[in-house]
Structure 1
């Protein structure tokens, strides 16, 4: 088997409306599909899917809100991101921190979504 890419990431969430507001309004992700128990956002070439316990699709054995961690790469400088997050009253858990990423040196901020999933926001140094 030769895996080519990741198609989507699915998050178990408690409140689909809170998740929609956070990912669409705060993180500016476009909504692609929205139902009562599921919402899909465009995230680069992939999708970020949020589902509640009521979603009828195939699920993990123990879907748990707040158990996921993922990272996104931004084009904007982290200083602008910090201001943007402050405008939405989203606390920064850690950062900016410098580390080595897949494509070189980077700086990161860490935040939580409404279900306490951990999101790393990365800016590669130029």
Structure 2
């Protein structure tokens, strides 16, 4: 039997302020905020996946060595066009750092728009429809 994995379940994002980060991802990307487990951990839920927000310096988390706020590069997909993504980001007061630009996603060609979250992580919002 060949061992394989079949999907990404969640990631852990180290943040300076989980309230600020959770609010940004909810307001800008429409994610749901969920508190869970011990110490009222916070997760961002969307499309069958989640992002756990780990406050910088927190104890009791198994996470990457040297995890720091602002060192991640994340790509999310959306069903709306890249032009609509740009308009939405501008309406939210979020600076577009690049895009729309053509890229190659996991399932084929995508059109991407890039911005940064409050910690400086690069956030790519991609559309398979252009």
Q: TM-score with structure 2 length normalisation? A: 0.86
Contact 1:40 1:48 (8 Å CA) reproduced: yes
Equivalent residue for 2:110? 106
**Match 1:42 to one of 18, 38, 45:** 45
2:74 counterpart SS class: strand
Contact 1:29 1:43 (8 Å CA) reproduced: yes
2:120 counterpart SS class: coil
Q: Which segments of 5 or more consecutive residues in structure 1 lack a partner in the other structure? A: none
Q: Indicate whether 1:69 and 2:60 are aligned.
A: no
Contact 2:81 2:129 (8 Å CA) reproduced: no
The runs of 4+ residues in structure 1 deviating greater than 6 Å are none
Q: TM-score with structure 1 length normalisation? A: 0.89
Q: Which moved more, 1:34-43 or 1:97-106?
A: 34-43
| CA apart distance, 1:36 | 6.3
| CA apart distance, 1:116 | 0.6
How far apart are the structure 2 equivalents of 1:60 and 1:103? Answer: 27
| CA apart distance, 1:43 | 2.4
How far apart are the structure 2 equivalents of 1:74 and 1:11? Answer: 20
Q: How does 1:1-126 map to 2 (within 5 A)?
A: 1-33=3-35, 38-52=41-55, 53-125=57-129
1:67 counterpart SS class: coil
How far apart are the structure 1 equivalents of 2:65 and 2:83? Answer: 40
| CA apart distance, 1:4 | 1.8
Q: CA distance change for structure 1 residues 102 and 63 in 2, over 3 Å: closer, same or farther?
A: closer
How far apart are the structure 1 equivalents of 2:109 and 2:45? Answer: 26
2:118 counterpart SS class: coil
